[in-house]
Structure 1
Amino acid sequence: MLKTVQKTNAGRFFEDYCIGQMIDHAVPRTVGTGERAMYHALYPARHVLYSSDAFAQFSGLAASPLDDMIAFHVVFGKTVPDISLNARANLGYAEGRWLKPVWPGDTLRAQSEVIGLKQNSNGQTGVVWVRSRGLNQHDETVLEYVRWVMVKKRDPESPAPETMVPDLAEVLEPAALVVPAGLDFTRYDSTLAGEPHRLRDYTVGETIDHVDGVTIEEAEHMMATRLWQNTSKTHFDGTMRDDGSRLIYGGHVISMARTLSFNGLANAQMIAGLNAGSHANPCFAGDTVRAWSEVLDLAETAAPGVGAIRLRLVATKGGAPFTLRDDGGKYLPHVLLDLDYWALMPL
């Protein structure tokens, strides 16, 4: 009688995690200029520091690094088979920091540590908190962030682990942000960047309607999901949902909203920190994504001519701009994304 040995990966379930568990994710990936070209084909990305070697060199860098969100997507994609293959929902982000630029030719890998566990009252699922890191070929951490996901249990009757909810910072202090070595905005050319508005031109509480919209295409979001090697079934397998729709990868919405924010925030050049984030409602092909921002804080850094702006970035699929929650505090149905981040901007 032939013996069948399970060789395929069914993913981890809630009871497979424990506090302090370290997970090294497969598969390392070398990124290049083709990654930039594909990113700019998928999203209307126009921030000049990621478009021009000459501008980057004028700003003190060796060349134009790859877009910040490329690093995020590559690292996130590595974590999916081990963290969220059996997830019901990606619930939030915190304490994200971009620590080193990623250059064409770098090889990225990912590692995660389980820092929190809490079984839900239904006994069917639980929440897993992980701190994930992206490392380059020199074992330098280029990116780190915390995210938490709701994961199915393999056996609802299995005992619940001891609850541990991590104490996470609500907001990164400006001093915790890392400015790339050499970055200097004292000779910043606003004409080439596309807008004159610098840090001093923004005020806390100001809101900006980014005006433009992009309709999500089925082919493009599928290309993005494969590009980032994201194996979450709900993004590429139409049989996973009763309606036959494929859920748009949340990172696709983040990148779309970030690049739409160029109109009004063209000088918010580099993402330096991720304070919080929530995918408020699902996005599907055919939805038209729009974005608006609110200025939450302003700060200076030690780097010459470089300031930091804290922004709330909201992606929507319609509805009036600057509307977020109903009277009960629940996200309105047209809100797709609520993201709180720091970006580096000339003073």
Structure 2
Amino acid sequence: MGKTNAGRFFEDYRIGQVIRHAVPRTVAEGERALYHALYPARHALYSSDEFAARCGLESSPIDDLIAFHVVFGKTVPDVSLNAVANLGYAEGRWRLPVWPGDTLRSESEVIGLKENSNGKSGVVYVRTRGYNQMDEVVLDYVRWVMVRKGDLSAPAPETVVPELKTVVPPEDLLIPEELDFTEYDFELAGEPHRWGDYAVGEKIDHVDGVTIEEAEHMLATRLWQNTAKVHFDATFREDGRRLIYGGHVISLARALSFNGLANAQMIVALNGGAHANPCFAGDTVRAWSEVLDKAETDAPGVGAIRLRLVAVKHGAEPFTLRGADGKYAPEVLLDLDYWALMPL
């Protein structure tokens, strides 16, 4: 009997199934250094222990998206190794900061299944939780993935599509108890713009662009231990091109958003997201944001801002999201809806 693992196919999932993912990962300062080498990430809270201490934290936490990528990467061999596409996210919440030295592991529960009409694939919905070494949930989220069938004759499961919130309500945002922005240093953070300076409906062009290199995206995908074949194996797709891991685009766009949103410090919720079109090495990525909502919080000096972050490739018209047909414009790579914390 073979000892290798071909990954799960659509017919291998069952509603209520809980998958404990290998392999736990201890994150350290090296993770932060490499992250900041891969992306132009400059948010002050994740760059300086002294700045973080002034904001009430014991030191600078690991970047929110490092935690997301590590937790996500653990799930790939069990959830999306045979995926056609990662379709969306919902109900994501960062519950606790991740500190250098923490060990993260992941667990996913299957909460939805729907076979596609062609009978060759289906959509799998999972709720993934990331735990630290004290078995505390540091983040959780729902994602849904289109997965190939291994046995085309396998019967279709009963269709279960979970009801998911389109937005995490502001009152459900989890803010570190010690976070305090009353002594926030705007000059050291890089921009003077505070929560009250942003208006719902405002759009911000983040100006800068980064051309994705093959070596960088491969290094990033290996860093997160993401083993999905579409990212590594050039023979896996008919066009012979390796897809850029969607999380790479998320981190790149988030880093680019510093120019205009330098004070949108902690990401605390992921309301929704779509990888609208494939991204390949050689694409030049730019980003823009739209302010969708704002909310006050109980934390001293801290406001919450809901942002749409859109990553586009070269040639995109400014602030274009969808075409006349209602579909994403072909230049749009990412449409991400999230809550961040910003000083009042």
Tell me which residue corresponds to 2:340. 343
Identify which of 190, 194, 198 aligns with 2:190.
194
- Structure 1's consecutive aligned runs of 4 or more residues displaced over 3 angstroms after TM superposition are none
Compute the TM-score of the two structures, normalised by the length of structure 2. 0.99
- Spell out the pairing of 1:313-324 with structure 2 (5 A cutoff): 313-318=309-314, 319-324=316-321
Q: Deviations over 1:288-342 (max 9, x none)?
A: 0000000000001110000000000000002112101111111111000000000
What code does the residue aligned with 2:165 have?
A
Worse-superposed segment, 27-36 or 234-243: 234-243
Q: Deviations over 1:134-177 (max 9, x none)?
A: 00000000010000000011111111111000000000100111
Q: Deviations over 1:91-119 (max 9, x none)?
A: 00000000000000000000000000001
**Cα distance between partner residues in 2 of 1:94 and 1:315:** 18
Tell me which residue corresponds to 1:45. 41
**Cα distance between partner residues in 1 of 2:239 and 2:7:** 24
User: How far is 1:236 from its partner?
Assistant: 1.1
Tell me which residue corresponds to 2:103. 107
Identify which of 173, 180, 201 aligns with 1:184.
180
Are residues 1:33 and 2:21 paired? no
**Cα distance between partner residues in 1 of 2:237 and 2:144:** 22
Q: Which runs of 5+ in 2 are unaligned?
A: none
Are residues 1:14 and 2:13 paired? no
Tell me which residue corresponds to 2:322. 325
**Cα distance between partner residues in 1 of 2:204 and 2:55:** 26
SS of the residue 1:168 aligns to = coil
Q: Deviations over 1:234-277 (max 9, x none)?
A: 10111112222110000000000000000000000000000000
Are residues 1:89 and 2:93 paired? no
SS of the residue 2:157 aligns to = coil
Tell me which residue corresponds to 1:222. 218
**Cα distance between partner residues in 2 of 1:164 and 1:222:** 35
Aligned-pair identity in percent equals 77
Tell me which residue corresponds to 1:239. 235
SS of the residue 2:286 aligns to = strand
Tell me which residue corresponds to 1:166. 162
User: How far is 1:180 from its partner?
Assistant: 1.1
Identify which of 71, 78, 92 aligns with 2:67.
71
Tell me which residue corresponds to 1:300. 296
What code does the residue aligned with 1:183 have?
L
SS of the residue 1:102 aligns to = coil
Tell me which residue corresponds to 1:129. 125
Equivalent pairs, count: 343
**Cα distance between partner residues in 1 of 2:239 and 2:14:** 35
Identify which of 256, 261, 264 aligns with 1:265.
261
**Cα distance between partner residues in 2 of 1:231 and 1:336:** 21
SS of the residue 2:152 aligns to = coil
Q: Which runs of 5+ in 1 are unaligned?
A: none
What code does the residue aligned with 1:197 have?
H
**Cα distance between partner residues in 1 of 2:119 and 2:209:** 41
User: How far is 1:87 from its partner?
Assistant: 0.6
Tell me which residue corresponds to 1:213. 209
CA-based RMSD of the aligned residues comes to 0.5
SS of the residue 1:316 aligns to = strand
**Cα distance between partner residues in 2 of 1:286 and 1:87:** 23
SS of the residue 1:238 aligns to = coil
What code does the residue aligned with 2:334 have?
L
SS of the residue 2:225 aligns to = coil
